[in-house]
Structure 1
Amino acid sequence: MHSSSTSGSRLCLNSFFSLSLKTLALSTAFIPLHSISASKTAHQFDSVVNSSKLVVVSVANPTTVFQDGQIKHGFGYDLVRNYADSLKVRLEFKTVKDNAAALEMVQQGKANFAMTTASISSIEAKQLTSFSATCGETVSMQKNGLSSDLNWVFKSANDPLSDTASGYICRAKQAGTLQKLASFYNRNVVKQESWDSIQRDLSNRMPIYKASFKSTAQKYDLDWHLLAAIGYQESYLKPNSVSPTGVRGIMMLTNSTAKAMGVSNRTDPAQSIQGGAKYYDQMLSRYAHIPLPDRNWYALVAYNMGPGAVSQIQKRIQSQGKNPNKWVNLYAYLDNNKASNGRYRQAVQYVTRIRAYVEHIKTTPQLVKI
């Protein structure tokens, strides 16, 4: 932990943004739909409301969703989940092997809509309708290494579901939340040349500590890849690491935190990992009232800055009339004020890099085999 504390989280990532249904459902300011079929069909909106369930299908890729077992997160996934939240319905998210399969499910009525990078011609061939999932926010997408060709595809343009969805997207753009979401899921947060060095570090050092990460993670019901990612961000997995502020060890514990976690030797790898995991788990419990995945990000910020600092920021957010328990609001506050506060800048980098490391570890064959 770089400042004064440490935290943890069960990486079961779900939502990022939530906009008011009142402002979205009644909106008429949505971007033009690319309508191919104007024939009357049964409204998907009615189906969603009556079943209290939104079924969305997508292909897993760096822009849409990162998935490992039950773990899901990503720009597209968070956007879809929060649209479902705005409708106050449960999201049923399905991934398929390619865009053709996703479009087929929408055409057959097996999904309410698809999130895809399929070409307009292939969408036309299925007589479906689509609109940009970013309301034309190409600059932020490209800047952060995400595809700007992401579309939401519906069976019919003459359906309130597509209307409310397009309104949701463009209001999210106007509010700046699309830009913040793209920033958080920045694919360029680590430069390619740095990835090469990171790959070497992880390949050489992770095998030494893998057993400790796995056994400790199992004890606290955590993802060991996440613990390893925290350890790498903290110390590059070097047990003798020490910072100018006196934190040390693989998990960079302060002396007081180490004692509270029962760690007598901070430079002992097994003890450090145990102490870091225990504190991380305590942070999860501290933010138990915050739904996943937001809870994960709050816990990581608290690990880095200390829960007291997070509480102060939450009070400031609340004084602005915003929900202090929404990650988008905490992230926006940190990001907007990072130029004038080094701790905020560090926290933003801390969380985004750990997220990127987890994805890298889980999707790199050489590391998966370690």
Structure 2
Amino acid sequence: MKQNRQLSRSRLCLKYLNSRPYLKATILFAAIAPLSLNVSQGHQVKQDLKPSNTLTVVAVQGPTTVFQQDGFTHGFGYDLARSYAKSMDLRLDLKTVKDNATALRWVKQGKAEFALSTASIAAIENAKLTAVEGSCGAQPILEKYGLDTNFSWVFKSAEDPLALTATGHLCQNKNTGTIQQLASFYDRNYVKESDMVKVDKDLQKRLPIYQASFKQSAKKHDLDWHFLAAIGYQESYLRPDSVSPTGVRGVMMLTSSTARAMGVKDRTDATQSIQGGAKYMQLMLDEYDHIPYPDRNWYALVAYNMGPGTVRSIRKRLERQGKNPDQWVNVYNYLERNQRANGRYRQAVQYVKRIRVYMEHIKSNELAQL
């Protein structure tokens, strides 16, 4: 009976939104937040998307939506859309366009089922489209982590079955803490702006020297070279003579045993170090070949930093707790919750988040130069 009342309220909200198609759907979220995805609604969505079983989503690249370059796709909005598509057993086809106006036009023309957008309410109103809050009313969380509070999923109309199922999915993610965890991981304030000035200077000065080696080694091991270069910067600031108190050294800060295993004879030789680091990273990625990208990259980074044995132990603990060890948000949440008690976990959180920031910075600079 309670669920029937909630469904009735949801339908009323949709009817209200349909009569006022420019209204952002805060009320809709409040009405259906307690609901999980309805099977019949999901079936209707799948029927509408046959025969391809593909969910086409359009977005403008940005810190809150998605980073997509050279086959490496990740981002706050992308992760939410990816989990939504998976919940519907659909293949996500995410397209990026140059600006929000183009993204909204795609939705209007039926080229995409919806848009991940940071467009203003006025722009969405002018396009006569319907938007739902991408954070399910959790704008304070987005603001805390430097993400755009205008983030929304934009649909052609409030009557679109996707609007209701997507809303339920987003609110479910809010209620389970997933939105909080994703926002924390994609924190735009994690590296201070003043620190990024130094990062930028370092990269401008040193990256051109080793860029060819990063590209060559990345290509050999099927990696994104920006990803590999970001690891190198986190490890050594791209200084081949770097040495840690524990004896790791070189651009990729390899231990002597890892260097030997990767065929590196001289760890202070930048080319050898980068080649060895790329080979070792590929081994870490192979350890998690059952986990889809981009999550596999984050697992591999934690393993690169802490060792695959530690990651296996964390995954077993999560499994005993009844949580899916193959979901990055669960591993990240475990590391973050326990980082005060375990310095290695704190280091791993810092390691992965900083590499993500550096990778995005390198990618953004390269795109700006095109």
Give the structure-1-normalised TM-score: 0.86
Give the structure with the larger helix fraction.
Answer: 2
Which 5+ residue runs of structure 2 have no aligned equivalent?
1-5, 22-43
Q: Note the C-alpha offset of 1:233.
A: 0.2
Sort the Cα spacing of 1:119 and 1:332 in 2 relative to 1 into closer, same or farther, 3 A.
Answer: same
Q: Note the C-alpha offset of 1:60.
A: 1.8
Q: Note the C-alpha offset of 1:113.
A: 1.3
> Aligned ranges for residues 19-30 of structure 1 at < 5 Å?
28=7
RMSD, aligned α-carbons: 2.3
Sort the Cα spacing of 1:259 and 1:203 in 2 relative to 1 into closer, same or farther, 3 A.
Answer: same
Residue 173 of structure 2: aligned partner: 172
Q: Note the C-alpha offset of 1:30.
A: 6.9
Residue 223 of structure 1: aligned partner: 224
Query: Secondary structure, in 3 states, of the residue corresponding to 2:58?
Result: strand
Q: Note the C-alpha offset of 1:36.
A: 4.0
Q: Note the C-alpha offset of 1:44.
A: 5.8
> Aligned ranges for residues 1-370 of structure 1 at < 5 Å?
28=7, 35-37=17-19, 46-48=47-49, 51-365=52-366
Query: Matched residues in 1 for 2:368 and 2:109: separation?
Result: 39
* Greater RCO, 1 or 2 (C-alpha within 8 Å, sep 6+): 1
Counterpart of 1:138 in structure 2: which amino acid?
Answer: Q
Q: Note the C-alpha offset of 1:195.
A: 0.8
Sort the Cα spacing of 1:197 and 1:126 in 2 relative to 1 into closer, same or farther, 3 A.
Answer: closer
Query: Matched residues in 2 for 1:86 and 1:54: separation?
Result: 12
Query: Secondary structure, in 3 states, of the residue corresponding to 2:336?
Result: helix
Counterpart of 1:89 in structure 2: which amino acid?
Answer: L
Check whether the contact 1:362–1:368 (CA below 8 A) recurs between aligned residues.
no
Query: Matched residues in 1 for 2:248 and 2:196: separation?
Result: 25
Sort the Cα spacing of 1:307 and 1:30 in 2 relative to 1 into closer, same or farther, 3 A.
Answer: farther
**C-alpha offsets along residues 221-262 of structure 1, whole Å, 9 cap, x if unaligned?**
222222111111001111121212221111111121111112
Check whether the contact 2:46–2:88 (CA below 8 A) recurs between aligned residues.
no
Residue 3 of structure 2: aligned partner: none
Q: Note the C-alpha offset of 1:206.
A: 1.5
Query: Matched residues in 1 for 2:202 and 2:137: separation?
Result: 39
Query: Matched residues in 1 for 2:203 and 2:20: separation?
Result: 54
Q: Tell me the matched-pair count.
A: 340
Query: Matched residues in 1 for 2:72 and 2:147: separation?
Result: 20
Q: Note the C-alpha offset of 1:105.
A: 2.2
Query: Matched residues in 2 for 1:123 and 1:365: separation?
Result: 31
Percent identity between the aligned chains?
59
Give the structure-2-normalised TM-score: 0.86
Q: Note the C-alpha offset of 1:37.
A: 4.8
Query: Matched residues in 1 for 2:330 and 2:119: separation?
Result: 32
Q: Note the C-alpha offset of 1:69.
A: 3.9
Which 5+ residue runs of structure 1 have no aligned equivalent?
1-26
Query: Matched residues in 2 for 1:30 and 1:198: separation?
Result: 48
Q: Note the C-alpha offset of 1:70.
A: 3.0
Counterpart of 1:35 in structure 2: which amino acid?
Answer: L
Query: Matched residues in 1 for 2:310 and 2:59: separation?
Result: 38
Counterpart of 1:227 in structure 2: which amino acid?
Answer: L
Sort the Cα spacing of 1:238 and 1:30 in 2 relative to 1 into closer, same or farther, 3 A.
Answer: farther
Query: Matched residues in 1 for 2:46 and 2:276: separation?
Result: 49
